[in-house]
Amino acid sequence: MKTEIAPTAGKTGLRRELGLASAIAVVTGECIAVGIFLTPAGMAKSLGSPMWILIAWLVMGAMTVSGALCYGELAGRFPRAGGSYAYLREAFGDRIAFLYGWMSLLVMDPGLTAALATGVGSYAAYIFHWPPLVTKLAAVSMVLVLGGMNVRSLPLSAGFMRGMTWLKLGVLGVLVVWAFAFRLGSWSNFVPFAAQHSGAMPLGPALAAALVGAFFSFGGWWDVTKISGEVRDPGRTLPRALVLGVLIVTIVYVAVSAAFLYLVPIEKVTSDETFVAQAGEQLFGATGGTAFAAVVILCVVGSLAAFMMAAPRVYYAMANDGLFLPVFARTHPRFGTPANAILLQSAIACALIFLGSFQQILGYFVFAAVAFIGLTVAGLFVIRRRPTSAESVILTAGYPFTPLVFLLLVALLLVLLAGHNPREVVLGSVVVMTGLPVHALFSKKWAEQSKLIFRYENEN
């Protein structure tokens, strides 16, 4: 099969080596992590109704599909590395795009990498009874192995990520079938189906809380667009991958939630941890905790593999645009991967794992991250006003209502986040804004380099 070279700025482009299966695996693999075991418990406790839990998942699935359709069109219009960074730059200019990249590089990407890797280490420590130092070393080792795999070969890392994703889906499917086929629970747990159980929150606040939890359980589907520069026929492949991936995730979440409710009555749900422990005991008996820990490790490793594949492409794209250090725009001379960008993410993540203070830091930037996702979709309205020569772009179905539905969801989430943690919102926003002087520095340097190049070309 002939390898295509992506039309990315810089002397060496990325190789288009990924197909539809890999792109779908990035979407599903990154979304389905530990949240699949914790979110249903929160929904059950707050909503207290099987019907409303189902409605929450379906509503969030539909809204996520609306966002995925918008990202699919953007990916078709701008089929290059960077995802949201590239689309924000096209719609709103370098400054806004740089602030997104600055937040991703400084906190979100290495912080999430550290959080996922530490989660793997923690669940492994539960099984093998490791001390804290060994747990941290295991987390660092996981980051280094996946980072090295991403540097060595994109097809290799994509193959590993696909394998982990399909294995994850298979195991979750077996758990659901096992629960129902062997009658390990009771259908009476779904009665009453619509009415809320005693102790549930009022429906309005409960539904809002459930939608927030569901949104973050779906989180990460947009990251597949960061590897647009390495996907074959991205204008057709990415829209299909985004929609199919989100639909798969929705089906999995509904099925797993149904199995959990079948195993554990709503009135017995007291916390996330006890809910998982109860479900594990029903499925596996006395070894339920260990078995579920192994399943969680599988889910989180798959999510980490997908995330570490996608995230470094943002710094690579920034460097190609002259908004970051040029060394990170270089691809490996032999492997053709953005090796320096991958190593940067891995190094910062390893440092955060040893520092151990990333969990609280991440909380300060959730508001900004959601805001940038909404701003990216809003950018579609700006870009649609411009003439385009991209005849093969798959346009967003139902435009302009589709992006408006997604933006309504984002606005609701931002209001809830700001009302719940105003201090974190303010501090996180201030840190993001510290990127403005850094952007000015890179912009000035890039302008000076452009003048020198222009002068050299005219003189020669």
Q: What is the pLDDT of residues 228-250, one digit of tens each?
A: 999 999 989 999 999 999 999 99
Quick one: pLDDT at residue 449?
A: 61
N-term to C-term CA, the chain: 40
Which residues are CB-neighbours of 102 under 8 A, at least 6 positions away? 432, 434, 435, 438, 439
Q: What is the pLDDT of residue 362?
A: 79
Cis? peptide before 338, omega within 30° of 0:
no
Between residues 403 and 354, which one has the greater pLDDT? 403
Residue among 128, 125, 152, 150 at smallest CA distance from 139: 125
Q: What mean pLDDT do residues 72-80 have?
A: 93
The mean per-residue pLDDT over the stretch 260-284 comes to: 83
- For 118-127, 284-293, 383-392, 430-439, which range has the lowest pLDDT when averaged over its residues? 383-392
Q: What is the pLDDT of residue 163?
A: 95
Range 154-162 average pLDDT: 94
Cα 443 to Cα 428: distance, rounded to the nearest angstrom: 24
- Largest CA-CA distance found in the chain, in angstroms, rounded: 83
Q: Taking 90 as the threshold, does the pLDDT of residue 161 lie above it? A: yes
Residues for the chain: how many in total?
460
Residue 402 is encoded by which pair of tokens? 């589709």
Average pLDDT of the segment spanning 49-68:
95
**Angstrom distance (rounded) from CA 244 to CA 337:** 27
Mean pLDDT, residues 39-57: 92
Write out pLDDT tens, residues 328-376. 999 999 999 999 999 999 999 999 998 876 667 778 888 999 999 999 9
Comparing 456 with 161, the larger pLDDT belongs to 161
- Residue 12 scores a pLDDT above 50: no
Can you give the pLDDT at residue 11?
Answer: 42
Nearest to 81, CA basis, from 146, 18, 37: 18
Per-residue pLDDT for 9 more than 60? Answer: no
- How does pLDDT run across 194-218, given as a tens digit for each residue? 999 888 889 988 988 898 889 989 9
| Amino acid identity at 317 | A
User: 28-32, 310-314, 386-390: which range is least confident on average?
Assistant: 386-390
**Average pLDDT of the chain?**
89
Reading the block at residue 14, the tokens are: 């990325």
Question: Taking residues 420-448, what's their average pLDDT?
Answer: 85
CB atoms within 10 A of CB 336: 18
User: How far is 190 from 265, CA to CA, in rounded Å?
Assistant: 8
* Domain range summary for the chain, segments of one domain joined by +: 4-434
The arithmetic mean of pLDDT across residues 119-127, rounded, is 91
Provide the b/e sequence for 92-118 (b: ≥16 CB within 10 Å). bebebbbbbbbbbbbbbbbbbbbbbbb
**Rounded distance, CA 282 to CA 269, Å?**
14
Note the CATH number of domain 4-434.
Answer: 1.20.1740.10
449 vs 159, higher pLDDT: 159
Over 80: is that where the pLDDT of 445 sits? no
Q: What pLDDT is attached to residue 457?
A: 42
Q: Above 80 in pLDDT, residue 4? A: no
pLDDT in the model for residue 453 = 43
